[in-house]
Amino acid sequence: MSVTIKDVARRAGVSPSTVSRVISKHPRISKETAERVTRVMEELGYHPNSMAKGLVSKATYILGVILPRPAEELFQNYFFHEVLRGILAQANRSGYDLLIASGSSESDELETVKRLVRGRRVDGIILLSSKTKDPLIHFLNEVGFPFVIIGRSPDFPDAPTVDNDNVQAAYDATRHLINQGHERIGFVSGPQELTVSQDRLTGYRQAMLEAGLSISEDWIVEGEFLQETGYRAMSMLMNLPERPTALVVIDDIVAFGVLHGLNELGYSVPQDMCLVGFNNISLSEHTSPPLTSVDIGTYQIGYMTAQTLIKTISKEPLHQTRKIIPHRLIVRGSSVK
Amino acid sequence: MSVTIKDVARRAGVSPSTVSRVISKHPRISKETAERVTRVMEELGYHPNSMAKGLVSKATYILGVILPRPAEELFQNYFFHEVLRGILAQANRSGYDLLIASGSSESDELETVKRLVRGRRVDGIILLSSKTKDPLIHFLNEVGFPFVIIGRSPDFPDAPTVDNDNVQAAYDATRHLINQGHERIGFVSGPQELTVSQDRLTGYRQAMLEAGLSISEDWIVEGEFLQETGYRAMSMLMNLPERPTALVVIDDIVAFGVLHGLNELGYSVPQDMCLVGFNNISLSEHTSPPLTSVDIGTYQIGYMTAQTLIKTISKEPLHQTRKIIPHRLIVRGSSVK
DNA sequence: CTGAAAGCGCTTACAG
DNA sequence: CTGAAAGCGCTTACAG
């Protein structure tokens, strides 16, 4: 069997209590004892049993990450992988492990969260996307369990969140196209219930309005965060009598689909259509032409989210419950003629 | 505080033992008692404390996934995300959660694994990539802890693995190009210590040899699983006096870099160069031209890996310790003129 | 500075 | 079919 604290104690000639104190670096322990115990622990390859430790200290040092529900689909979105990297990096740095979970349906997802929370399987929870009327947020808020949302929650404005200023980001993207002389600009959006879709659409509308440009509702297409969405949108958009000359696209992945769709229809970018995407994923500089994209600091979002959650868990005061990660427009060939 | 088994017991008028038996669906429990206890559990929103349960049953129902070490880089490889989806799906289906961990250096990584194993934090471990002389495998093998490797381990041939027949896969890819009439075929490889690189190179060489075609060592380039690798390789390869007319590329991501590099140098695919990649990631059908790729059943690899690990944990006999997931060449525009 | 004892929330032989 | 008791491997007041 495994080495326990008793084995270490016996071998070091001290009590289990003392070994425990050495592990937790209790101040009132003599240097000699500490050293001897430490040596024995290494000799025996001792590691504290995480469950016994967790049972008494009521902490698991595990952060739970809930993948967005239609996980099978959305997990294809490279945003999540980058965000996960950021979360993992910060979690590890602070001595936390990551547990990832998902649900196959909305109720299944809620069940999973309840199990994680009530079963004390994790110390806190990260929600990777935010939408309106989310029962998970409702539950977490009600039971007062530590959690952080990536995005924002219109229904629970006090919940800790890490987000971009998506209204401004889309405004900037649209403004960039207006500056290039475009007047007919469309918007390819994501699922309507997601706040990120709502906010970017708002920013787009604002920029257009402010520039005195009118929007045809035909220019606004809604879909999933998949290439398919962009691909299909093109056969529709390009058939319009008055089609747009530029598009703001909610996600680089979708923009790849747009690029492919245009290509197949015989149009070229940026001559026939200019494009701006979001997320600036690593592939974006390797398309032809390279894709102009709003870098939203995805890794940093993950990093900051983990940091915020860990602070919440340790009951450190948050300077601000709603953190905003800065964005930056990266101009490449797809948007300048 | 949380609801415990005692609270349920009191409210249901039974002993904690009985509640415990109801939870674990012990056969010798009267129907009435079981129903009453179940009702009370629901009323109280009771969920068993995972740590208390784990402490006594010595099982966590958590699978540990170790991300390849230069995680910051390799985690960009979309292979891992797809594989993770497969692992997650099967794990959830069997009542397991997933813990993901990584290390910043080789020794840090080993420390992490030791902590997970000796601290009983997980019930088994999945290694997402396989290389020669891996200290992790050495450790896991030595302590007899359940683990499964994605790939294969030349040093520990008896270790349970899930892999493709990468020799055959690369053979097929090369053969496809030979069938198109190519005689000068190059190979853009990944890190040399990875078995997947070694195997695919072997398959490529075999196909060439068998077809009586000679290989110039200049045609074999080695790099990381990044677009950069493919991108940079092109400026080199295209400057050769006798340059290849087709390339087998270790990973679609790298092939995207190749595509971009060729584009920028003014060459077009498939006219000037034919390409075959591996992994068939979702983007591959949306490049211009769409990329021919060997579909290696990435999701299925993950799925099967989790299944194998869970069997190992439950001490079910494995029919075969080395599972092979079938591959399939998906021919698209990048390899046929 | 260190030890003995109680307890975290479960499970599981052992009785009955 | 059900309960009392011991124990999983730790931590932490309470003494000394």
Nearest Cα to Cα of residue B308 among B323, B298, B327, B326: B323
pLDDT band at A193 (very low <50, low <70, confident <90, very high): confident
In percent, the amount of chain B with pLDDT more than 90 equals 71
pLDDT band at B271 (very low <50, low <70, confident <90, very high): very high
In percent, the amount of chain B with pLDDT more than 70 equals 97
Nearest Cα to Cα of residue A228 among A263, A247, A255, A198: A255
Domain co-membership, B207 together with B248: yes
First-residue to last-residue Cα distance in chain B? 69
Is the residue at A53 inside a domain? no
Is the residue at A54 inside a domain? no
Query: Residues B42-76: pLDDT tens digits?
Result: 999 899 999 999 999 999 999 999 988 664 455 55
Give the neighbor-by-neighbor strand order of the sheet with A292-295: A220-222, A185-189, A246-249, A274-278, A292-295, A328-330
Is the residue at A286 inside a domain? yes
Domain co-membership, B107 together with B40: no
In percent, the amount of chain A with pLDDT more than 90 equals 71
Beta bridge partners of A264: none
Please state the domain count of chain A: 3
Domain co-membership, A171 together with A254: yes
Q: CA of B212, closest CA in chain A: separation in Å?
A: 36
CA distance A87 to A79: 12
Across all residues in chain A, what is the average pLDDT? 92
Is the residue at B55 inside a domain? no
Domain co-membership, B188 together with B210: yes
b/e per residue, B261-284, with b = 16+ CB within 10 A? bbbeeeeebbeebbbbbbbbbbbb
CA distance B311 to A249: 45
Contact flag A102-B121 (C-beta cutoff 8 Å): no
What is the distance of C-alpha B151 from the center of its chain? 8
Is the residue at B193 inside a domain? yes
What was the pLDDT predicted at A102? 85
Domain co-membership, A66 together with A158: yes
Among B44, B121, B291, which would you mutate to test the A interface (most chain A Cβ atoms within 10 Å of its Cβ)? B121
Residue B8 CB neighbour total at 10 angstroms: 24
Q: Give me the CA A141–C1' D4 separation in Å, rounded.
A: 40
The token pair at B320 is 């075969």
Indicate yes or no: strand D within 7 A of the C-beta of A11: no
Residue B206 CB neighbour total at 10 angstroms: 16
Domain co-membership, A208 together with A226: yes
Q: Which residue is nearest to nucleotide C2 (CA to C1')?
A: A18
Domain co-membership, A172 together with A154: no
Indicate the residue of A2, A88, A259 with minimum beta-carbon distance to B102. A88
Indicate the residue of A50, A92, A263 with minimum beta-carbon distance to B120. A50
Nearest Cα to Cα of residue A162 among A108, A198, A207, A126: A126
Is the residue at A37 inside a domain? yes
Is the residue at B321 inside a domain? yes
The token pair at B258 is 């190749």
Domain co-membership, B191 together with B105: no
What was the pLDDT predicted at B71? 47
B34 pLDDT above the threshold of 90:
no
Q: What is the mean pLDDT of residues B256-283?
A: 93
Q: CA of A334, closest CA in chain B: separation in Å?
A: 14
Domain co-membership, B155 together with B203: no
Across all residues in chain B, what is the average pLDDT? 91
Domain co-membership, A109 together with A181: no
- Supply the CATH number for residue B310's domain: 3.40.50.2300
Domain co-membership, B318 together with B276: no
What was the pLDDT predicted at A25? 87
B221 pLDDT above the threshold of 80:
yes
Q: Give me the CA B16–C1' C13 separation in Å, rounded.
A: 15
What is the distance of C-alpha A241 from the center of its chain? 39
B227 pLDDT above the threshold of 90:
no
pLDDT band at A28 (very low <50, low <70, confident <90, very high): confident
Domain co-membership, B145 together with B82: yes
Pairing mode, strands B185-189 and B246-249: parallel
Quote the domain boundaries for residue B206: 166-296+329-335
Q: What is the mean pLDDT of residues A246-250?
A: 97
What was the pLDDT predicted at A1? 62
Query: Residues A307-333: pLDDT tens digits?
Result: 999 999 998 888 889 999 999 999 999
Residues 6+ apart with CB under 8 A from A102: A66, A67, A68, A69, A71, A75, A109, A112, B88, B92
Q: Give me the CA B55–C1' D9 separation in Å, rounded.
A: 8
What was the pLDDT predicted at A80? 84
On chain A, the residues whose CB falls within 8 A of the CB of B72 are 85, 89
Is the residue at B56 inside a domain? no
Query: Residues A70-129: pLDDT tens digits?
Result: 644 555 567 888 899 899 999 999 999 999 998 888 888 999 999 999 999 999 999 998
